[in-house]
Amino acid sequence: MKIEDYLTTYPIVPLDTPQTYAHWFQRIVIPFERSNGLLVLHAGSIHDEQKQRLAFLLDLDFGTLKADLVGLEQAMDWLEQALAEVEQVFEACITDKARSLFDEVKVND
């Protein structure tokens, strides 16, 4: 199984080193100044010893850069913007092959 078939964020191992590895984990912190937000992206591998299979981790956390700039009146607007940012990053991080594994759930407005 190749990570890059499922995720667009994955480790790049220097050419002069073995190209196989047991596990991997990365953390990327991305400021979203237009949304007054900060996204933390965690990606990695999870090995299930009992079932002898490999799974991938993709965790996206979004918080505010400056909480004092988001008043109670703007909180829902900020949350909607934050969700849009997380959805955009999620879609950018997965491939069509990974996307085909998910069943999309539509939320009624």
pLDDT, position 32: 92
Domain spans in the chain, listed from the N-terminal domain onward: 3-9+25-98
Low-confidence ranges of the chain (pLDDT < 50): none
Amino acid letter, 87:
E
The phi, psi pair for 86, rounded to 5°, reads: -65, -45
In angstroms, the CA 17 to CA 96 distance is 30
In angstroms, the CA 89 to CA 94 distance is 9
Amino acid letter, 28:
I
pLDDT in tens, 40-56: 999 998 877 776 777 88
pLDDT, position 39: 96
pLDDT, position 88: 95
